[in-house]
A and B are shown apart, each in its own frame.
Chain A
Amino acid sequence: MLSDHTVSILIFAGIDVIMALSFYLPASAGQLSAGQGGFMALGAYTAAYLTVQHGTPFPLALAAGGLVGGLVGLAVGFPALRLRGLYLVLVTFGFGEMIRVLFLNAPAFGGPAGFAGIPPATTVWHVLGLLVVLLYFFTRLSGSRMGRAFAALRDDEAAAEAMGVNSTYVKLAAFAAGGVIAGLGGALYAHYTLFIDPEAFGVGRSLFVMLYAVFGGLASFWGAVAGAAILSILPELLRWVKDWREIFYGLLVLTMMLVRPQGLLDAALLARLFPRGERAAARG
């Protein structure tokens, strides 16, 4: 029914949306991470190693990828407790870079030559299924105690703490959950591309994940969804400009950010899209 080409576009766009959501979750608690590619690498390599070396069933390997991403996310959350704003961006940059170099130097994972022979397992339904689960999760989260704690922390940390928000716990939870989502995204990615190497998860990946979410707007998780979906399909739409594609792409993103510095779906637009009661549900 769907051509292979369409399926591959859908799967990669879906994984990009998953990754953008993994950035959005800690960002909604004011924790900007420029190292989501690192978590993705951990999930991808963990899951691929399990299916290739131990014949682990795909769902289990997927869960393991998410788990490792989450545990490392928790570990990265600790230094994050001491750092704010752009300092945190820089440290998470460094984290992503170190993960890349670690896999580059790990012969068990193929090192610079990459890790090949991963059995095909990811289908478009896996990706869409995870997306549906994530969207349900984010919808429920935004009205929950935890979701409101995230928003409070993002808006004013001191005030949030004064209101009884346990910022340590909330920040760690945000980072760990972001790590789980990125780990799952990585595991899905590995079992679709069937070959992974450390360069696939480098700074470029982390920057683009951040780009997707911010382009869409950080006011709601729908921003991350819209931003990633649009920007990962955009190169397909720009095929006609041939090798001017990246230049067009960059100029389009730049223009968009200059026209709408708060992203595509900013608070004002959300208020129009989701009037009254629904607005609370849509807010991240």
Chain B
Amino acid sequence: MFAQQLVNGLMLGGAYALVAIGYTLIFGVLNLLHLAHGEVFMVGAYVGLALALAGFPPWAILAGAMLAAAALGVLVERVAFRPVRSRGSHVTPLITTIAVGLVLQHVVVKIFGAEPVAFPAPFASAALDLGPVTLSTLQLLILGTSIVLMVVLEIFLRSTPTGMAIRATAENQTVAGLMGINVSLAIVITFAIASALAGAAGVLLAWNFTGLSPFVGVKVGLKGLAIMLLGGLGNVTGAMAGGLIIGVVEVMSVAYLASSYRDAFAFAVMILILLVRPTGLFGARLQTG
């Protein structure tokens, strides 16, 4: 029972972590909050739905959702962040991204309707009996995909020139610019990566919950924010660990306590952490070590 719940929690947590990594990457480079990130996640999931209904295979659904989300993320950076980066305070992007989120929600409502829709399973899933835990092949795919994406991201940030440029920009924009790094480009790439991960998480969670609603972004977005705080603002490894922790805590709270409290736990953990250790579990700043 416990081991099974642990696996379920890790699966949920992996997808949460992908959302939180996006927040933390963007916060890392810009020191700003992206309140439409949950909506980017939601749009990614709906693009996945459209591809699934058109009969595409699972890998194409995932890739299509990631590409569409990345394009959307770059667009959001262009309209909601860049114009106010130098002129507004740190409050202005909160408002511009809320507005963008509202528009995205209702564009999706116009296309797909406001009611929750069913998300088709990518394949007939088989159950794998692994001693104390039973894992379906779909769960394995969800968990595997999020782990692979996180490992790839970690390698990318750590050892490619672009990854280093992103880390340098997060460290200090001015100095990075002086060292010849194209800061604007690094920011655009950061948005593309962060949004692609959110798009992937959208499809993975839609597979997990087999359903989707235009307003799902708000809840998942908030959870992503809580996880980002838990792991430390701008800390990618922290967001990964934080996502897994929150996923497990949530599943455990449903299993052993009341299910209606599940959403409160993420925030209870977050507020506790902030009071005890305001820099998060793993310290602040964009680090990968």
Contact residues of A with B, CB < 8 Å? 32, 79, 82-83, 85-87, 89-91, 93-95, 97-98, 101-102, 104-105, 112, 203-204, 207, 210-211, 214-215, 218, 243-244, 246-247, 249-251, 253-254, 257-258, 261-262
B106 and A79 within 8 A (CB): no
A90-B225, A203-B222, A254-B103 are known contacts. Are A210 and B260 too (CB-CB below 8 A)?
Answer: no
22 contacts across the A-B interface (CB closer than 8 A)? A32-B91, A86-B32, A87-B278, A90-B274, A97-B222, A98-B267, A98-B268, A101-B260, A104-B260, A207-B98, A210-B98, A246-B103, A247-B102, A247-B107, A250-B103, A251-B103, A254-B79, A254-B103, A257-B84, A257-B95, A257-B99, A258-B83
Chain B residue numbers with a CB within 8 Å of A102 are 264
A101 and B106 within 8 A (CB): no
Query: Other than the known A210-B94, A254-B103, what 14 A-B pairs have Cβ atoms closer than 8 Å?
Result: A82-B278, A83-B274, A86-B27, A86-B33, A86-B90, A87-B229, A87-B274, A90-B226, A91-B274, A97-B222, A210-B98, A247-B110, A250-B103, A254-B100
The residue among B27, B102, B106, B226 with the most chain A CB atoms within 10 A of its own CB is B102
Chain A residue numbers with a CB within 8 Å of B88 are 257, 261-262
B89 contacts A by Cβ under 8 Å: yes
* Complex: A175 Cα to B95 Cα, angstroms: 21
B6 contacts A by Cβ under 8 Å: no
Residues of chain B in range 57-85 having any CB-CB distance to chain A below 8 Å = 79-80, 83-84
The residue among A90, A105, A203, A251 with the most chain B CB atoms within 10 A of its own CB is A90
**A34 to chain B: closest CB distance in Å?**
8
**B22 to chain A: closest CB distance in Å?**
15
**B275 to chain A: closest CB distance in Å?**
5
**A223 to chain B: closest CB distance in Å?**
12
Chain B residue numbers with a CB within 8 Å of A90 are 33, 225-226, 229, 270, 274
B105 and A246 within 8 A (CB): yes
Closest-by-CB residue of A relative to B267 is A94
B271 and A79 within 8 A (CB): yes
Chain B residue numbers with a CB within 8 Å of A83 are 274, 278
User: How many residues of chain B have a CB within 8 Å of chain A?
Assistant: 47
* Complex: A97 Cα to B111 Cα, angstroms: 29
Q: Please classify the interface of chain A as helix (H, G, I), strand (E, B), loop, or mixed, using the class held by over half of its residues.
A: helix
Contact residues of B with A, CB < 8 Å? 27, 31-33, 35, 79-80, 83-84, 87-92, 94-96, 98-103, 105-107, 109-110, 218, 222, 225-226, 229, 233, 258, 260-261, 263-264, 267-268, 270-271, 274-275, 278
**A52 to chain B: closest CB distance in Å?**
23
B271 and A98 within 8 A (CB): yes
**A32 to chain B: closest CB distance in Å?**
7
* Complex: A89 Cα to B94 Cα, angstroms: 10
Chain A residue numbers with a CB within 8 Å of B87 are 261-262
Chain B residue numbers with a CB within 8 Å of A79 are 271, 274-275
Chain B residue numbers with a CB within 8 Å of A82 are 274-275, 278
Closest-by-CB residue of B relative to A91 is B274
Closest-by-CB residue of B relative to A218 is B91
Closest-by-CB residue of A relative to B270 is A94
B96 and A254 within 8 A (CB): yes
B98 and A261 within 8 A (CB): no
A250 and B79 within 8 A (CB): no
* Complex: A247 Cα to B163 Cα, angstroms: 36
B95 and A95 within 8 A (CB): no
Chain B residue numbers with a CB within 8 Å of A261 are 83-84, 87-89, 92
A105 and B258 within 8 A (CB): yes
**B263 to chain A: closest CB distance in Å?**
6
**A211 to chain B: closest CB distance in Å?**
6
A204 and B99 within 8 A (CB): no
**A88 to chain B: closest CB distance in Å?**
9
**A112 to chain B: closest CB distance in Å?**
7
B260 and A105 within 8 A (CB): yes
Closest-by-CB residue of B relative to A261 is B88
**B106 to chain A: closest CB distance in Å?**
4
Chain A residue numbers with a CB within 8 Å of B90 are 85-86
Closest-by-CB residue of B relative to A102 is B264
B222 and A93 within 8 A (CB): yes
**A68 to chain B: closest CB distance in Å?**
20
Closest-by-CB residue of A relative to B107 is A247
* Complex: A254 Cα to B36 Cα, angstroms: 12
Closest-by-CB residue of B relative to A78 is B275
B83 and A249 within 8 A (CB): no
A85-B90, A215-B95 are known contacts. Are A93 and B264 too (CB-CB below 8 A)?
Answer: no
Chain B residue numbers with a CB within 8 Å of A101 are 260-261, 263-264, 267
The residue among A95, A251, A254 with the most chain B CB atoms within 10 A of its own CB is A254
* Complex: A103 Cα to B46 Cα, angstroms: 32
